[in-house]
Structure 1
Amino acid sequence: MPRPQAASVLVLPSPFFSDSDTIRLLEPADCDTRDVLRQVVSGEYDRPFVIDDGSTRTLHFSLSLIQSTMSLKDPFALELDYTQAMMSFLLFLARPQHIFMLGLGGGSLAKFCWRHVGSARITVVEIDPDVIAFRDEFELPPDGPRLAVIEGDGAAHVQALSATGEKPDVIMMDAFDRHGLAGSVSSVDFYESVLRALAGRGIMVANLAGEGADRVEHLAMIGEVFDDRVLSLSLPDGNDIVLAFKNPAFAPRWRDVATQAKALRARTGLDFPKFAQRLERNSRLRYF
């Protein structure tokens, strides 16, 4: 039986934390709110939802999985460490013309790029219409000349890029559902399609999370397809951020990267020097 589509976001008192918190759901106003909240608490609820505690707004696929976090005081900031680390591609490609994202979430990366990477047109492909339905809750700018959010399978869109001749400079992969990494991005064929789709000096940035064995498997596939032109960051929260480079002559000049890191920190506020130091260290240790 298909799920009813909500005309708007339903805001209710949250069943968690303090009485002032709210939970936002894609349910009709005349739904059985008590039963819906029971499903959320028990883990039976199978749609994304948003919890607002007055200072942050978080997108959940389940109670145990926070997919995105937004500060209400600074909606364009990157609150989660892994999203900050994913921006480290700017150390190697300062002025991308087209950034192609797989997975919208709460739109944190799209918003940050929209504000701080003025050279770039941003395309986001999100398979779940329920996630897209929350875009206004996370203050994502409307679609326009520099931003487009498309409902669809990101892996299929990457494969189609080669046929259209479109060559993104950056492909960012943050493609998760409530079960982990989406199956459509979990193959050598997918990573080969990414390699084909990228511009000549293009970079793929992937967020790998979940079971350790799954991360190792993806790292191996990426290394195989990109001929080990790979840099990585392992974060304390269990995420691995992987940068893979299409250019066969890729060889980072770490002094230049360090200079770029300082300029990026001054412009965006993110600790790019830390990312640069850790990427260089891992490169010298051959850790990826």
Structure 2
Amino acid sequence: MDDSPPDTSPRKEHMLAEVRDDFGLIRVWEVDDYRFLEFGEAIEQSCTFTADPAWLEYDYTRAMLIGALCHPAPETALFMGLGAGTLTQACLKFLPLDDVECIELRPDVPRLAMEYMGLADDPRLYIRVGDARELLPSAEPADLIFVDLYTDQGPGPAHLAWAFFEACQQRLNPDGWLVINQWGDDAGKPLGAALLRGLYHRHYWELPVKEGNVILLVPASLDQHLDLQGLAARAEALAPRLGYRLDALIGAIRSAT
């Protein structure tokens, strides 16, 4: 038994990069075994475990991976918002994807993600720089579409845009899933709940997480339903490779409220 006192020494922080672009400040910090991508003044956007860049540290990213597992065998994916690329890397590593497109607003983000955050130069991954609202119409239809468009001020304008969310669903292949990382309010409801209920006819599922976000799981059509049993089985089979379990998060999934 180890009777030595716990290590209470302060964590060592080291800034690896600082860039200022048309949208503000971007910094990369290293703290022990982790690296953080920050927008603005200490607004953390992403966290990478340097030993395994596909490791998902936060519940909201694990919940978005659960959204990906709603599809039994996805071949194509579209990510809107790259950040450090941890979710993108996890999907490339653990899902049978052949073609992945990512749209990122800020040109320096993909460069920093590759240089400092462990984003691999995977031949299946194609990154385009620009506004997701403008580039979405030219994106290829996909089995999975992820929306995670945040700035240092909070959710981007697209997170409350009816036309954008409608276009996202329409860009899905049959049996596809739209996975949205939405802010949650004090009552635990997603930002723009009334808009979402009207647009998607209450036919979607919500997954609240401890960071305060609510992940939305939206099917391509009203005829499509969430197979919770199949989802749980896919998560169970993947758990040994992931290094963590997803049971508790799956148990928190609820119908749209």
**TM-score normalised by L of structure 2:** 0.85
Q: In the aligned structure 1, how far is the partner of 2:182 from the partner of 2:52? A: 26
Q: Give the root-mean-square deviation of aligned CA atoms.
A: 2.6
Given residue 58 of structure 2, which amino acid in structure 1 is its aligned partner? L
After TM superposition, give the deviation of residue 212 of structure 1 in Å. 5.1
CA offsets, 1:120-176, max 9 Å, x none?
4211110011222312201111152x1111111112222333xxxx31111101110
1:112 to 87, 90, 97: 90
- CA–CA distance in 2 between the matches of 1:242 and 1:167? 19
Count residues in correspondence.
Answer: 246
Larger Cα-atom Rg: 1
Once the two structures are TM-superposed, the CA of residue 266 in structure 1 deviates from its matched residue by: 3.4
Deviation string 1:189-233 (CA, Å, 9 cap, x unpaired) is 111111211111111101112765996443332332222221111
Distance 2:151 2:194 in 1: 22
List, as ranges, runs of 4+ consecutive aligned residues in structure 1 with deviation greater than 6 Å: none
Worse overlay, 84-93 or 211-220: 211-220
Supply the distance in 2 between the matched residues of 1:214 and 1:188 (Cα, whole angstroms): 21
Aligned to 1:271: 245
CA distance in 1, matches of 2:52, 2:62: 15
Q: Choose from 199, 210, 225 the match for 1:236.
A: 210
- Shift of the 151–186 alpha-carbon distance from structure 1 to 2, 3 Å rule, reads same
> Does 2:13 correspond to 1:21?
yes
SS at match of 2:55: coil
Residue matched to 1:187: 161
Residue 36 (structure 2) aligned to one of 50, 58, 79: 58
Aligned to 1:200: 174
Pair 1:274–1:173, CA change in 2 (3 A): same
In structure 2, relative to structure 1, the CA distance for the partners of 1:253 and 1:195 (3 Å cut) is closer
State the structure with bigger RCO (CA 8 A, min sep 6), 1 or 2: 2
SS of the aligned residue for 1:47 comes to: strand
Q: Does 1:85 align with 2:59?
A: no
Question: Greater share of helix residues, 1 or 2?
Answer: 1
Q: Matched residues, percent identical?
A: 24
CA change 1:90–1:20 in 2 (3 A) is closer
In the alignment, which residue of structure 2 is the partner of 1:124? 102
CA distance, structure 2, for counterparts of residue 66 and residue 185 of structure 1: 19
Contact 2:149 2:158 in 1 (8 A): no
The code of the aligned residue for 1:263 comes to A
For residues 227-257 of structure 1, give each alpha carbon's deviation from its aligned partner in whole angstroms, at most 9, with x where no partner exists: 2221111112111111111132123343333
Take 2:107 and 2:177, find their aligned partners in 1: how far apart are those partners?
A: 27
Deviations 1:95-136 (A, max 9, x none): 211110010111111111121113342111100112223122
Match of 1:159 in 2: 137
CA–CA distance in structure 1, aligned partners of residues 19 and 166 of structure 2:
39
TM-score, normalisation: structure 1: 0.77
* Aligned residue number for residue 94 of structure 1: 72
Structure 2 residue aligned with 1:254: 228
Aligned to 1:140: 119
More strand by share: 2
CA–CA distance in structure 1, aligned partners of residues 190 and 61 of structure 2: 20
- The gaps in structure 2 that reach 5 residues or longer are 1-8
Name structure 1 gaps, 5 residues minimum: 1-16, 29-44
